[in-house]
Amino acid sequence: MKFANPTNDIAFKKIFGDENKTEVLISFLNSILDFQGNKKIKSVTIANPYQVPKIKELKNTILDIKATNQDNEQFIVEMQVEKDREFAKRSLYYTSKSYVEQIDKAENYRKLKKVYFIGILNFAILDTKEYISRHLILDEKTLKQEVADFEFTFIELKKFNLTLQECDTNAKKWIYFIQNASSFDMIPKEYEDIEAFVTAFESAKQYNWSKKEMEVYDWHFKQTWKQLSVIETALEDGKEMGIKVGREEGLKEGLKEGLREGLKEGEQNKAIEIAKNLLDVLDDETIATKTGLSVEEIEKLR
């Protein structure tokens, strides 16, 4: 038996974004957000349910999960594998956009409902040792949450080092599942009595997948490996350039300056190479945000 890796965008959405298996997403949200009692989510409507995308159309496909609960509160769940230093800003953008799109101009602001953003990161970006962190808008002095319509929860997988036996809550079990599901040959006993987890494992069984789903799944992994290779190569080139310039200067200060310039040029080359690989996947503004290049530079590359 082979389970898919949930950190793969397609696998993640197939597992958590199936409109016919919403118990998986409900369990995940209630566990991660620690919703209890009247706050507990009873039902969700998935705004963009899972469908097998065509590879040639993936550049126009949004792969995060958007859902609304019984109180019309909105939830955005995103799996981010590649390191993105601007991820926090992007989460603010997605959340605010989802918030303002709830009403048309001149409508009653009371109709606006809370938006929760849950980001699952396969890297560490925040200055905290905790693997899960919750971010609220609080009064500086009283610490009261009087502006309560935005909430952000970040799960940094690299900081999660628990064994399955140490996972004593469903929240921990979900994080462990996302991190390790593809390493199992069968459903572990710690999961087999919990319906939502059994359903999640069933969705992750690759022998139940279509040929098209497997093609898209493999394509996503290849794109990730390709980007990592580009970054590593550009960094090595930058270091080599720095050392070469430093040697030519022949002086200590020349070495320092050469290293700085070489690394700077290497970073620029890295950004250009990454941008080239993203031209068929993203629009110019998004590529500029991800690489640090200007929109004009992206247009020239096109």
Looking at per-residue pLDDT, the higher value among 105 and 192 belongs to: 192
Does residue 2 lie in a domain region?
A: no
For 7-48, the pLDDT digits (tens) are: 988 899 999 999 999 999 999 999 999 999 999 999 999 998
Task: Please give the structure tokens belonging to residue 216.
Answer: 């898209």
CB contact at 8 A, 165 and 22 = no
Same domain, residue pair 66 and 202: yes
- SS3 call for 213: helix
Out of 189, 208, 227, pick the residue that ends a domain. Answer: 208
CB contact at 8 A, 219 and 55 = yes
- SS3 call for 117: strand
Out of 178, 208, 238, pick the residue that ends a domain. Answer: 208
User: Which pLDDT value is given to residue 60?
Assistant: 45
Number of domains in the chain: 2
CB contact at 8 A, 244 and 262 = yes
Same domain, residue pair 246 and 97: no
Domain range holding 244?
Answer: 212-301
Out of 208, 226, 245, pick the residue that ends a domain. Answer: 208
Same domain, residue pair 203 and 252: no
- Tell me what the mean pLDDT of segment 143-147 comes to: 91
Same domain, residue pair 92 and 183: yes
User: Which pLDDT value is given to residue 50?
Assistant: 83
Same domain, residue pair 161 and 138: yes
Q: Is the pLDDT of residue 224 over 80?
A: no
Same domain, residue pair 112 and 65: yes
